[in-house]
Amino acid sequence: MKRTPLFHYHKDNSKLIEFAEFEMPLWFKGISEEHLTVRESLGLFDVSHMGRFLVKGKDATDFLNYLLPTDVLKVSKGRSFYTVFCNGEGGIVDDSVILKREENEYLVIGNAINIEKDWNWLKKHAKSFDVELNNLSDDSAMLALQGPKAEEVLQTLVKEDLKQIKRFSNFKAKIEDLEVIISRTGYTGEDGFEIIIFDVSYEEPQKALNLWNLLLSKGALPCGLGARDTLRLEAGMCLYGNDIDESVNPLEANLSWIVSFDKGDYLGREALIKVKEKGVKRLRKGFLMEDRGIPRAKCKILKDEEEVGIVSSGTFSPLLKKGIAQGYIKASLSKDDELVQIDIRGIKSLARVKTPPLYDTNLYGWKRIKV
């Protein structure tokens, strides 16, 4: 089993689980407590298990612009963006946050479960481009500092004025003597920063452990993958392998905002144009339970006894204190407040369609903070 540099901390302080071949913390204090702390104050996640790939060279921008449905030419230096890699049929190979570091230098963050697939995908398509690829996944670490207090706490450690760092921006910084790259992004719906540390590994973990301990000493609560999952589900973000995979295209996944049709040719464009012309039959939406019961992946969604969709992930929301889900529903039934039933192990339970975030955005989430 794979381990991140921070495993040396996790082994004594958390309940461990296996996730994407990694031995990772499920929780330290408990999922609910960690979840609520991120919504109300500050949590710290080890996300070193994710894939990190450096793409640089003369054709780096053109290369990514060919591989992605997003118009990479419109992305400026120092910006981070969410996107997906599509195959020729428009199916999602992986979803990713990409940091544009320099004009022709990008850091691609992919899912842990797809590290090998992404690496092969990049290598396979790089042949006709002048690019240099580097898989940094095993030789770097990544911490996610998330919650409304993230800016205040990180500001005590970096000299850059964080008020000037917008959401979805990235920059190089020094924390004590450690050089890092910081991106104002995350997977919780809250404001926060993802901090990448280079030249660190499970065997040589000290740099990552030092930063982890430093951030804990500033008051961040260590959080595990359990809270990471409940937080991203409330926020409406996709988990690869559950909510999206190669059988789904980004238009069905309700990610049309990352798809450009007027940027010229790219992998999957023809297929996506066809989908667009025909119109999508199903759409990824959020669901809030009206009845008791916790929807889980693969539960059927029903309307008037007819099957109209399927849950792709579901959980209990520690914030809303009820079942929540994400799933695919017939496009004609995908409007907010549509009432449907979810078959939870034989019990048909009432649920309401809702566009995420599922929490009240006046009270929670990064948009309530001016960033």
Partner 1 sequence: MKVKEYEVPEELYYTKEHEWVKVISKDRVIVGITDYAVKMLKDIVYFSLPRINQEINFMDSLGTVESIKAVSEIYSPLTGKVIKVNERLLSEPELAYNSPYQEGWIVEMEPKRLDDELKLLLKSEDYAKLLQNL
Give contact residues for partner 1 (rule: CB under 8 A).
Answer: 15, 26-27, 30-32, 226, 229-230, 292-294, 296, 315-316, 318, 345, 347
Q: Which is nearer to partner 1, 244 or 289 (CB)?
A: 289
Distance, CA of 82 to CA of 86 (rounded, Å): 13
Q: Which is nearer to partner 1, 23 or 160 (CB)?
A: 23
Buried b (16+ CB within 10 A) or exposed e, 269-301: bebbeebeeeebebbbbbbbbbeebbbebebbb
Q: Which is nearer to partner 1, 256 or 349 (CB)?
A: 349
Backbone angles phi, psi at 334, to 5 degrees: -90, 5
Q: Which is nearer to partner 1, 32 or 201 (CB)?
A: 32
Minimum distance from CB of 222 to partner 1 (Å)? 15
Minimum distance from CB of 310 to partner 1 (Å)? 17
Amino acid in position 300 = K
ω into residue 357 within 30 of 0, thus cis? yes
CA distance readout (Å), 296 to 84, 157, 243, 257, 336: 25, 41, 12, 27, 20
Distance, CA of 310 to CA of 34 (rounded, Å): 29
Minimum distance from CB of 120 to partner 1 (Å)? 31
Minimum distance from CB of 286 to partner 1 (Å)? 17
Minimum distance from CB of 343 to partner 1 (Å)? 14
- Number of CB atoms found within 10 A of residue 347's CB: 11
Q: Which is nearer to partner 1, 30 or 78 (CB)?
A: 30
Minimum distance from CB of 311 to partner 1 (Å)? 13
What 3 state SS string does 277-293 have? HHCCCEEEEEEEECCCC
- Runs of H (alpha helix) within the chain: 7-13, 31-40, 60-67, 115-126, 150-155, 206-217, 225-235, 269-278
Q: Which is nearer to partner 1, 194 or 234 (CB)?
A: 234
